[in-house]
Amino acid sequence: MIDGTRPSASPIKTTSLFKDRIIMKKTLRGAIILTAGFAVAACVKQAWQVTYPGPENYSTGSSVLVAENGTSYMAGVIDAQTIFVAAYNANGQKLWDRKISGSGFSARSLGHALSLDNGTLYLSWDKALFMGVTLFKLNAATGEVLLQRDLENSALTLGSNVQLGEDHQIYLNYALDLFQTSSHVVAYSADGEFLWQHNLNTYTQPQENNLQQYQPRAAAMGENSSSGEYAGLNQNSPVVQGGFVFLYTGDTITALDSQGNVVVSQSAANLGLNSIARLIAHGNKLLALGSTGNTINSVVLDLNLTELSHNTLSTESVEVGQSDSKKGNACIMLVGSAYQLTELDANGAPLWTRTIENSDSSTIEREEVLADQAACYYSTTTSKDGRITTQADRYNGPGEATDHFSLPDLLTTGIVVQGKSIYHVGMTSSYNEETQQYDDPITTAVLDKKSHK
């Protein structure tokens, strides 16, 4: 949607791990839903449900953030000139909502993210066609808009890849590089003032590893947020950790200080890797995932980029798919002839591996791996005979599937896990069993929570 009119029926282009698919002949339209549920093996009951109707009940949900106290924040778009943010307490009571005017907003923009820092809610939103990112700051308790600013030098960056450092600086990364030949970061002050930018490419020569020891600190950005965007867009996202910004390409990792100066670099070859597929924060360290021939390896690094441990994850011909780490436990999807979900400990060693099977022959249209509380969550949106279903499974211990949560007729745009609660943002619509198509009602944003009896 790029204006205030309803979009015509058209295919939805969705992204799996490594390719795009056209999945429906008719656009899946209808209620935009944010759901939260306790995914447990026992019964699930409805806790509460709220809607956020825009003009003529039309609104589109996009992003979700859940604070530690259970407050949920949902952001979305109403038309090309209006976006909204709404906050609800843990019982589903609306705390506040805010409509914000601007220009160039689109439900189909590539990035829109929420983050929380010391009582301030940050929202970044891409303008259409990579024309830049707009930053919004709101009082998280009242919804008062504190700042609205178009970010300088933000063209071709992705608003979904915004990160906040403990220095309260804001970091955006460049557009997706499928070949992992470059990694770009743009830094701003907490008020959106441009500070510096840096580009790393594969021709950067590694520098001597001379970074002094630092005591890492937790990043200011909350972990319980989702950009409402395909995870493939975060392929080369900078890692903000311990006061440094780490950029990486297929063959190099480089650490920058908060002024954008290169402090140290490390090559894939020095880590015993032919190439680096992913770099993610791993507790107060870093976890690099890469390959040596057909072998997939994990390498845990300190903030000096010094290797602490090295483990083999697979000797089969596989690729590194979705990856996530929280509090020192990482969950990795390895994709080959089968999908293999693996949990890693703080040293990057595999604890268990579980083969994921698609038992009902549905087509996987979107998937995401999340780590939380020593467990791995695997959420998928599938299509079968033109019908969409989103579901999530929780695996712990020796890879046992302990919990299952299902949302029929929901096309997911973002997911957050907090404890045993899973929050989904996505589109839903009434499915007509007779015509085997989705109806086309007025779209309304919905917040739904289910809990364990």
Mean pLDDT of 196-210: 59
C-alpha–C-alpha distance, residues 30 and 427, integer Å: 7
For the chain, the domain total comes to: 1
Task: Decide: helix, strand or coil at residue 337.
Answer: coil
**Of residues 328, 318, 329, 370, the one with CA closest to residue 352:** 329
* Better-scored residue on pLDDT, 100 or 406: 100
CA torsion sign for 135, 141, 144, 146 is negative
C-alpha–C-alpha distance, residues 178 and 327, integer Å: 29
Q: Looking at 171-175, 219-223, 277-281, which range is the least confident one?
A: 219-223
C-alpha–C-alpha distance, residues 99 and 77, integer Å: 9
Is pLDDT of 446 > 80? no
CA angle 313, 316, 318 (to 5 degrees): 80
Supply the pLDDT for residue 231: 39
C-alpha–C-alpha distance, residues 105 and 137, integer Å: 17
Is pLDDT of 160 > 80? no
- pTM, two decimals, is 0.82
Reported as a pLDDT band with limits 50, 70 and 90, residue 15 is very low
- Residues whose CB falls within 8 Å of the CB of residue 431, separated by 6 or more in sequence, listed in order: 387, 408, 409, 437, 438, 439
Supply the pLDDT for residue 36: 64
Domain-located, residue 13? no
Does residue 221 contact residue 115 with C-beta atoms inside 8 Å? yes
Does residue 225 contact residue 116 with C-beta atoms inside 8 Å? yes
Q: Note the pLDDT tens digit of each residue in 230-286.
A: 434 445 678 899 999 999 988 899 999 999 999 999 999 999 999 999 999 999 999
Domain-located, residue 21? no
Number of other residues whose CB lies within 10 A of the CB of residue 57: 14
CA distances from 266 to 162, 244, 247, 263 (A): 24, 15, 11, 11
**Of residues 131, 79, 133, the one with CA closest to residue 106:** 79
Domain-located, residue 191? yes
Q: Which domain holds residue 109?
A: 31-452
C-alpha–C-alpha distance, residues 20 and 14, integer Å: 6
Backbone angles phi, psi at 56, to 5 degrees: 55, 30
Does residue 170 contact residue 122 with C-beta atoms inside 8 Å? yes
Q: Note the pLDDT tens digit of each residue in 93-135.
A: 999 999 999 888 876 665 677 889 889 999 988 876 657 889 9
Residue type, 363: T
Domain-located, residue 12? no
CA torsion sign for 57, 45, 412, 102 is positive
Reported as a pLDDT band with limits 50, 70 and 90, residue 434 is confident
- Residues whose CB falls within 8 Å of the CB of residue 334, separated by 6 or more in sequence, listed in order: 296, 313, 314, 316, 318, 319, 320, 321, 340, 342
Domain-located, residue 185? yes
Supply the pLDDT for residue 432: 85
Percent of the chain with pLDDT over 90: 29
C-alpha–C-alpha distance, residues 353 and 359, integer Å: 18
CA distances from 448 to 33, 74, 430 (A): 7, 12, 16
What does the DSSP 8-state code read for residue 260? S
Supply the pLDDT for residue 35: 64
**Percent of the chain that is helix, strand, coil (3-state, to 5):** 5, 55, 40
Domain-located, residue 229? yes
179-185 CB contacts, 8 Å cutoff, 24+ apart: 179/250, 180/235, 180/236, 180/249, 180/250, 180/275, 180/276, 180/277, 181/249, 181/250, 182/236, 182/249, 183/236, 183/238, 183/247, 183/248, 183/249, 184/157, 184/247, 185/238, 185/245, 185/247, 185/256
Supply the pLDDT for residue 97: 94
User: Which residue is associated with the tokens 């699930």?
Assistant: 44
Is pLDDT of 212 > 50? no
Is pLDDT of 53 > 80? no
Residues β-bridged to residue 287? 280, 300
> H or E segment at 86?
strand 82-88
C-alpha–C-alpha distance, residues 101 and 225, integer Å: 23
* Better-scored residue on pLDDT, 242 or 453: 242
The DSSP result for 413-433, as a single string, is: EEEEEETTEEEEEEEE--EET
CATH number at residue 340: 2.130.10.10
Domain-located, residue 418? yes
Domain-located, residue 16? no
